[in-house]
Amino acid sequence: MRKDFGAKPFLFPQPVMIIGTYDEKGKANAMNAAWGGIVGPDEIMIDLSSHKTTDNILLQKAFTVSMGDEEHMTACDYVGLVSANKEEDKMEKAGFTTTESAFVHAPIINELPVTLECRLVNVTDDTKFLGKIVNVSIDERVLGEDGELSLEKFSPITYDTVHYGYYRLGEKVGNAFKDGAALK
């Protein structure tokens, strides 16, 4: 037997995206976003209602997306609870420091090791922000011996849309484009 839940946003693992933007004075901000993901090899789409972040994106036509990780889980949740419209010291309270991307006018959050640097392509239905990924920068401390991102060293968290928890990703269980060949 299966139980029906109706229309729900259940698709796991759901990313924890921390969006970085600059305001009109060049002040950095960050917010947490769940509704979105990769929609092409160099494209990302995020569903955003009205926030300081969306004002910033529309102004600068740029944003960054960093993955929330276990080490910074509390800060990542905090930037999803509090708006820069109400808290001037939001970034300081989160413990986030930033460096401007060399590719787009948007801040890289130094504490989060993996960042997609994006140019705004367009906004559809007033809420769906499509970004072109123009660069990905990764802190060397989470690179493996092959020079690529290592999920042994980096612990992104995933958002549980059922009970509102954050979970760490688990162990490697297989090899893509390979293990299925056993059934050919």
Q: Which stretch binds ligand FMN (CB under 6 A): 77-85, 98-106, 114-122, 129-137?
A: 77-85
Query: Does 33 participate in binding ligand FMN (rule CB under 6 A)?
Result: yes
Q: How far is the CB of 154 from ligand FMN (least distance, A)?
A: 19
97 binds ligand FMN (CB under 6 A): no
Choose between 48 and 108: whose C-beta lies nearer to ligand FMN. Answer: 48
32 binds ligand FMN (CB under 6 A): yes
Strands of the sheet containing 43-47, edge to edge, are 28-33, 17-22, 62-67, 114-124, 128-138, 43-47, 36-40
Classify residue 109 by burial, with Cβ atoms within 10 Å: 0-12, 13-18, 19+: buried
Among 20, 64, 77, 156, binds ligand FMN (CB under 6 A): 77
Token pair in block for residue 160: 């549980």
Q: How many C-beta atoms surround the C-beta of residue 38 within 10 A?
A: 13
DSSP state of 150: -
Under the criterion CB under 6 A, does residue 48 sit at the interface with ligand FMN?
Answer: yes
Q: For ligand FMN, which is the closer residue by CB, 93 or 153?
A: 93
128 interacts with ligand FMN by CB under 6 A: no
Q: Is 163 in the site for ligand FMN (CB under 6 A)?
A: no
Q: How many residues bind ligand FMN (CB under 6 A)?
A: 20
DSSP string, 70-124: GGGHHHHHHHHHS-TTT-TTHHHHHT--EEE-SSSSSEEETTSSEEEEEEEEEEE
What residue number has its CB nearest to ligand FMN?
A: 80
Does 68 bind ligand FMN (CB under 6 A)? Our answer is: no
Residue 134 identity (one-letter amino acid) = V
Rule CB under 6 A: which residues touch ligand FMN? 29, 31-35, 47-49, 51-53, 77, 80-85, 159
